[in-house]
Structure 1
Amino acid sequence: MIELHRLTKRYGDTRAVHDLSFTVAPGHVTGFLGPNGAGKSTTMRLILGLDAPTSGTALVNGRPYTSLARPMREVGALLDANAVHGGRSAYDHLLCLARTNDIGPRRVAEVLEQVGLAGVARKRVGGFSLGMKQRLGIAAALLGDPKVLMFDEPVNGLDPDGVRWIRDLMRSLAAEGRTILLSSHLMSEMALTAERIVIVGRGRLIIEATVAELTTRYPTLEDAYMALTASSVQFGVSS
């Protein structure tokens, strides 16, 4: 489980995340939505200990990420598919990550097969398309077989088959009882993938609801998103 309690992050005079509280529970995909600059990426970085909060807490399974002895075994994340060493092969990239968390090479081969990269495992990542890098980032997230997974725009660069593959993967992982937090701007895809939705605007929580609840109130998830985020701007939510 992911739990945020009154999480706040300031960068100088800029408040990227403000008093943000929500929970991401296991067993379903939780979509994380908001306009550009809403604080989604900052929130995910705070959960992963990449930034320190100004105040409040972000917990994974009841503990801060930075306190986890073998974090990849508890949390897997894809935030930036391009954050890889272009001179390494896909296999070597994953093997380096695996060794930091006492994960064996057999698991590296397994996740490369799972994401469809087994045939290019020994090729340098620098020659990969963005879609292939996304698959490699997903392989890295799955490496420790974690119960909590976070993905930021994982379908970028993927063709329609790849997008469907991501959708099926997210749903199957949730069906196994894992906790999935998925950030994306593709409303149509989110409507097909997520069961719960968290929408933020200007660093604040706008709504936390199920897709079914939102599509009962609005014609589509996209309509719900547009109406709810427009309201947050209209009422001058503090940044």
Structure 2
Amino acid sequence: MIELQHLTKRYGDALAVDDLSFTVEPGHVTGFLGPNGAGKSTTMRLILGLDAPTSGHALVNGHRYTSLRKPMREVGALLDAGAVHGGRSAYNHLLALARTNDIGPARVAEVLEKVGLAGVARKRLAGFSLGMKQRLGIAAALLGDPGVLLFDEPVNGLDPDGVRWVRDLMRSLAAEGRTILLSSHLMSEMALTAERIVIIGRGRLIIEATVADLTSRYPSLEDAYMALTADSVQYGATR
């Protein structure tokens, strides 16, 4: 479970996350939506201990991420698929990550097979397309077989087959009882993938609801999103 309790983050005078509280429960894909600059990426970084909150708490299974002894065994994440060393092979990239959490090489081979990269495991990452890097990032998130997973725009750069593969993967992981927080701007995919939705704007919670509830009140998830965030769009925002 992921729990945010009155989470706030300031960068100087800029308020990126503003007293944000919500819960992401196991067994569902929870879609995380909001306009550019709403604070989604900052919130994910706070959950993962990459930034420290100004106040409030971001907890994974009741603990701060930074207090976990072997975090990859509890939490997996894909935030930036391009954050890899181009001179390494896919296999060596994952092996280096695995060794930091006492994960064996057999698991590296297993996740490469799962994401469809076994055939290019020894290729250098400099030659990988964005879609291939997305698959590698998903493999990294799955390395420790964690119960909690966070994905930020995981279908960027993927072709239609890849998009469907990600959709099916998210659903299957949730069906196994895992906690999935999925950020995306693709409303059509979110409507097909997520069961629950969290929408934020200007760093604050707008709504927590099921997709079924939102689509019963609006013609589509996209219509619901547009109506609910109409006052939260910040042109020129960077976070």
* Secondary structure of 2:198 counterpart: strand
CA offsets per residue over residues 10-60 of structure 1, 9 Å max, x none? Answer: 000000000000000000100000000000000000000000000000000
Residue 187 of structure 1 corresponds to which residue in structure 2? 187
**How far did 1:117 drift?**
0.1
Does structure 1 residue 10 correspond to structure 2 residue 10? yes
TM-score (norm 2): 0.97
Residue pair 1:86, 1:124 contacting (<8 A) in 2 also: yes
> In structure 1, what residue type is equivalent to 2:151?
F
Residue 43 of structure 1 corresponds to which residue in structure 2? 43
Residue pair 1:17, 1:204 contacting (<8 A) in 2 also: yes
> In structure 2, what residue type is equivalent to 1:217?
R
Residue 119 of structure 1 corresponds to which residue in structure 2? 119
Residue pair 2:30, 2:194 contacting (<8 A) in 1 also: yes
* Secondary structure of 1:53 counterpart: coil
Q: Distance between the aligned counterparts of 2:180 and 2:155, measured in 1? A: 15
Q: What does 1:208-219 correspond to in 2, within 5 Å?
A: 208-219=208-219
> In structure 2, what residue type is equivalent to 1:197?
I
Q: What does 1:197-236 correspond to in 2, within 5 Å?
A: 197-232=197-232
Residue pair 1:20, 1:205 contacting (<8 A) in 2 also: yes
Residue pair 1:206, 1:232 contacting (<8 A) in 2 also: no
Does structure 1 residue 99 correspond to structure 2 residue 99? yes
CA offsets per residue over residues 111-135 of structure 1, 9 Å max, x none? Answer: 0000000000000011000000000
Q: State the number of aligned residues.
A: 234
Q: Distance between the aligned counterparts of 2:83 and 2:227, measured in 1? A: 34
**How far did 1:206 drift?**
0.2
> In structure 2, what residue type is equivalent to 1:144?
G
Residue pair 2:35, 2:232 contacting (<8 A) in 1 also: no
Q: Distance between the aligned counterparts of 1:119 and 1:139, measured in 2? A: 14
Residue 77 of structure 1 corresponds to which residue in structure 2? 77
Q: Distance between the aligned counterparts of 1:228 and 1:165, measured in 2? A: 29
Q: Distance between the aligned counterparts of 1:153 and 1:119, measured in 2? A: 25
**How far did 1:232 drift?**
4.4
Q: Distance between the aligned counterparts of 2:28 and 2:159, measured in 1? A: 24
**How far did 1:231 drift?**
4.1
Q: Distance between the aligned counterparts of 2:155 and 2:226, measured in 1? A: 21
Q: Distance between the aligned counterparts of 2:231 and 2:8, measured in 1? A: 22
Q: Distance between the aligned counterparts of 2:32 and 2:45, measured in 1? A: 14
Q: CA RMSD of the aligned region, Å?
A: 0.9
> In structure 1, what residue type is equivalent to 2:158?
L
* Secondary structure of 1:230 counterpart: coil
Residue 139 of structure 1 corresponds to which residue in structure 2? 139
> In structure 2, what residue type is equivalent to 1:124?
R
Residue pair 2:38, 2:232 contacting (<8 A) in 1 also: no
Does structure 1 residue 25 correspond to structure 2 residue 3? no
* Secondary structure of 2:16 counterpart: strand
> In structure 1, what residue type is equivalent to 2:115?
V
CA offsets per residue over residues 116-159 of structure 1, 9 Å max, x none? Answer: 00000000011000000000000000000000000000000000
Residue pair 1:149, 1:180 contacting (<8 A) in 2 also: yes
* Secondary structure of 2:155 counterpart: coil
Residue pair 2:75, 2:149 contacting (<8 A) in 1 also: yes
Q: Distance between the aligned counterparts of 2:61 and 2:18, measured in 1? A: 22
Residue 53 of structure 1 corresponds to which residue in structure 2? 53
User: Percent of counterpart pairs with the same letter?
Assistant: 89
Residue 236 of structure 2 corresponds to which residue in structure 1? none
